[in-house]
Every structure is written in structure tokens, then in C-alpha cells.
Structure 1
Amino acid sequence: MVSLQLQNVEARYGRKVIYGDATTPPISGGHLTALVGANASGKSTLFRRIAGQLAGGGEVRLTGAAAHDLRYMPQDTGMTAALTVYESMILSLKQGSGGWRLSTTDLRAVDRVLDQLTIPQLAGTSLTELSGGQRQLVSIAQTLVTRPKVVLMDEPTSALDLYRQYEVLEVLRDYATETGAVVLLALHDLNQVMRSCTMTVAVSGGRILAAGPTLTTLRPDLIQKLYGIEARVETCSRGCPMMIVDRALPIAPAA
């Protein structure tokens, strides 16, 4: 089984320490895990540390996977290369493989992911012609086509319309179930988190405030600490949990 665990992890920008003692229980594969917190709370920094892009002490412990099995999709996808969507998918698939010869299996893998995200019509489109939402979908496709065992995605639904948001979360949930991969997503919509994510890690001010099963972690007191809002978590007529915001408090979220 694939799992990811942080043990006393530190993240540094030069001499500046952002995280000093980030520790989580094992984050197991096979389902979605959310990383939540207000803007500038440290979500992207934590992703970069896990991905090995930042230095720091402590241990990022992978079980059932190695560092090369991890893929990190940042918020800013910055697609400026003179490639079509299909060509960019092939490039993502073959990078680090030790060869550029294409097989029928490779081509089927690309077609499969484009179909899963319902964007096969974009295959021949230049990356520079894509809208913001299309770029985000292509970035997700580029990540999944390599079949990673650990997936880190920083706000993968931020540029998508409501339909596409739920479609992408279903695709990612199916991927986690099918492959047993750890899929860790930074998300802002807590109703989506409660609907789609089995586990949640909550951060604020460069600290992990809580980590555990979503429905026992995202309680009103924690939501208030994270976002500075007064909210309730209730159950709808179909038995699904949902957050209802009553008001913004006259204080900022915990820093």
C-alpha cells in the first residue's frame, strides 16, 4: 500500500523557516486527501517541500513509492511551449523514461486520459491557444498520464466552472481508487472537501493544525481558526454533510 507521512518536517526559503515541525499521520492511498487553509497559510510551501523543491530537516516518508513516483502540479501551469496538447502529453509521458520511442500502449494511455477528462477535442490545439480552464485540465492530464503513485495538486479546480470542478474530482477519486495512489489536493471549497475527500490536513501560519478523517476534522471551531468565519456543518436531506457560513468574524484567521 502506498502512503505518505511527514515527520518533523521543516521547510526553508534560504534562512527563513516556514514550517518547523510539520507532522502528520500516514496519508494512505486509494482515496482523496485535502490540504486546506486560507490564502498564504503555507499550502504551496508544504507541497514544494514534499516534492523536494525546498530544503529543510525532518523526513518525508514514502511507503510503497519512491521520489520518482511523485508528481507535483503547481497553481501556475505557465504553458508557453509551441506544442499541441497531444504533443505535450507525449512529452510528459516520456520524460525520464530513458527513451523517446512511442508504443501503442503510450498512445492509448494519452487517449485514455484525454477521454477521462472529456477533452479529446483539444488534442490538436496549441498550448498557447488554451483558455485558463483548458490549461488546468491539460495540466491534470499531463500529471495523470504518467500514472504516479503520489500526486500533489495545488488548487486543481480553481480555474474550472462548477461542472468541470465536480468532473475533475470524480476523475481524481477514480484514479486514486484504481491505482491505490496517494492523491493530495489543495482545495478551498470545504463542501467539495466534505463530499470528495476521506482525509483532511489543515494548515495555518506554517503549522499543521489538524490532520485526520475529514468529517471529524472539519468542525466549526477549526473552520473558525482557519478562515475567521462562523460556520455550521449540517446534513442535507440526502444525508450529505455541508458547511453553512453564518458570518465573517471581525478578526483575521489564525496566523
Structure 2
Amino acid sequence: MVSLALDRLAARYGRRKILSDISTPEIPGGVLTALVGANAAGKSTLFRRIAGQLRGEGNVRLTGAVTADLRYMPQDTAMTAALSVYESIILALKQGGGGWRLSARELMAVDAVIDRFGLTALAERQLPELSGGQRQLVSAAQTLVSGPRIVLMDEPTSALDLSRQYEVLEALRAYAAETGAVVILALHDLNQVMRSCTTTLAIGDGRVLACGATLEVLTPSLIRALYGIDSRVERCSRGCPVMIVDGPSGAALAS
């Protein structure tokens, strides 16, 4: 079983400390985990620290996986290379080494991830021709094509329309269930989080405020601490949890 836990993680840019003493219980694989917090709370910094792009105090503990099994999809999906969508996904697969000749198994992996994210009609399009949402889909495909056991995605639905948001979250949830991978998504839409993510890690002002089952974490008091708003979590006619915003309650912890 794959899991990830953080032990007193810290990170800084120059003299400015961004994260301090970030510790979590084991975050399980097989389900989606949300990373939530206000703008500038340290979500992207935390992902970069976990991915090894930043140094700092503390440890990232992996069970059932090694660092090479980790893939990180940042917010920025700018793509200017003169490659087709299909070629770019092959390139992402082969960046781990092993030469450039594709085996039948690797071709199947490329085709499968293109199908998973509905990119078949775009496979021959050049990357600079794509819209922001299309680039985000390609970036998600590039992240998953090698079959990683640890996946970090920073706002993977931010450029997508409602239909595509739902499709991508369902595709990621299916990937986690099929592979047992730890999949952590930084998301701003808390209704998406409640619908799709089993576990939630909430950070504010560079520290952990809560980590656990999503509906136990996303309480009105926690949402107030994170975002400075009063809210309610109620059930819709189908029994699904929905967050309703009542209005501002004061300054959020991280703005």
C-alpha cells in the first residue's frame, strides 16, 4: 500500500520562512487527497518541497514508493515547444531514461492516457495552438503517462470548463483507485473537494491546520480560519455535501 507522510517539513525563500513544522499522518493511496488553503498559504511551496525542488528541514516519508515514483504538475502549463500533443506525451514518458525507442507497452500507456483525458482529437495538434484548458489536459496526461505512485497536481482544473473539471477529477479518482497511487490536488473549489476527495490537508500561514477525512476537516470554523468567510455545509436533494457561503467574517489567516 502506498502512502506519504510529512515530518516537520519546513521551507523558505531566502530569509523568508514559508512553511514551518508541516507534519501529517499517513496520507493514503487509492483515493484523492485535497490540499486547500487561501492564496499565498504555501500550497505550491509545499508541493515543491515534497517534490525535492526546494530544500529545507524535515522529512518526506514514502511507503510503497520511492522518490523516482513521484510526479509534480505545477500551475504553469505554458507550452511553446514545436511538438504535437502525442509527441509531448511520449517525451514526458521517456524523460526517465531508457532510450527513445518505444515498446508496445509504452505505446499502450501513451494511448491509454490520451484516452483517459479525452485528447484523441487533439493528438496531432501542435502545443502552441492549444487553449489554456487544453494545455492543462495535456499536462495532466504528461504527469500520469509513466504510471507514478505519488502524484502532486497544483490546481489541475483551474483552466477547465465545468464539464471538463468533472471529467478530469473523475479520471484522477479512477487512476488513484486503479493504481493505489497517492494523488494530492491543490484545489480552491471546496465543493469539488467535498465531492471528489476522500482526504483533505488544510494549511494556513505556512502551517497545518487540519488533516483527515474531508467532511471532518471542512467545518465552518476551519473554513472561517482559512478564508475569512462564514459558511454552512448542507446536503443537496441527492444527499451530497454542498458548501454555502453566507458572507465575510473577517481577515483570513493567509491572504
How many residue pairs end up in the alignment? 254
Report the counterpart of residue 119 of structure 1 in structure 2. 119
Q: 2: distance between equivalents of 1:155 and 1:49?
A: 17
Report the counterpart of residue 205 of structure 2 in structure 1. 205
Q: 1: distance between equivalents of 2:112 and 2:159?
A: 23
Q: 2: distance between equivalents of 1:114 and 1:20?
A: 39
AA aligned to 1:234 is E
Q: 1: distance between equivalents of 2:48 and 2:116?
A: 27
Give matches, 1:15-26, under 5 Å: 15-26=15-26
AA aligned to 1:56 is G
Report the counterpart of residue 253 of structure 2 in structure 1. 254
Q: Describe the superposition over 1:179-204 as per-residue Cα deviations: whole angstroms up to 9, x where unpaired.
A: 00000000011011001000000011
Report the counterpart of residue 33 of structure 1 in structure 2. 33
The secondary structure found in structure 2 opposite 1:148 is coil
Report the counterpart of residue 156 of structure 2 in structure 1. 156
Q: 1: distance between equivalents of 2:222 and 2:2?
A: 28
Report the counterpart of residue 193 of structure 2 in structure 1. 193
Backbone CA RMSD of aligned residues:
0.8
Identity of aligned residues (%): 70
* TM-score, normalised by the number of residues in structure 1: 0.98
Q: 1: distance between equivalents of 2:38 and 2:71?
A: 24
Q: 1: distance between equivalents of 2:121 and 2:32?
A: 28
Give matches, 1:205-224, under 5 Å: 205-224=205-224
The secondary structure found in structure 2 opposite 1:156 is coil
Shift of 1:167: 0.3
Shift of 1:111: 1.1
* TM-score, normalised by the number of residues in structure 2: 0.98
Report the counterpart of residue 44 of structure 2 in structure 1. 44
Report the counterpart of residue 14 of structure 1 in structure 2. 14
Whether 1:140 and 2:140 are equivalent positions in the alignment is yes
Give matches, 1:24-103, under 5 Å: 24-103=24-103
Report the counterpart of residue 174 of structure 2 in structure 1. 174
Q: Describe the superposition over 1:11-68 as per-residue Cα deviations: whole angstroms up to 9, x where unpaired.
A: 1223322112000010010000000011111100000000001110111101111111
Unpaired segments ≥5 residues, structure 2: none
Which ranges of 4 or more aligned residues in structure 1 deviate by more than 3 Å? none
Q: 2: distance between equivalents of 1:16 and 1:54?
A: 13
Q: Higher mean Cα deviation, 113-122 or 7-16?
A: 7-16
Q: 2: distance between equivalents of 1:100 and 1:81?
A: 18
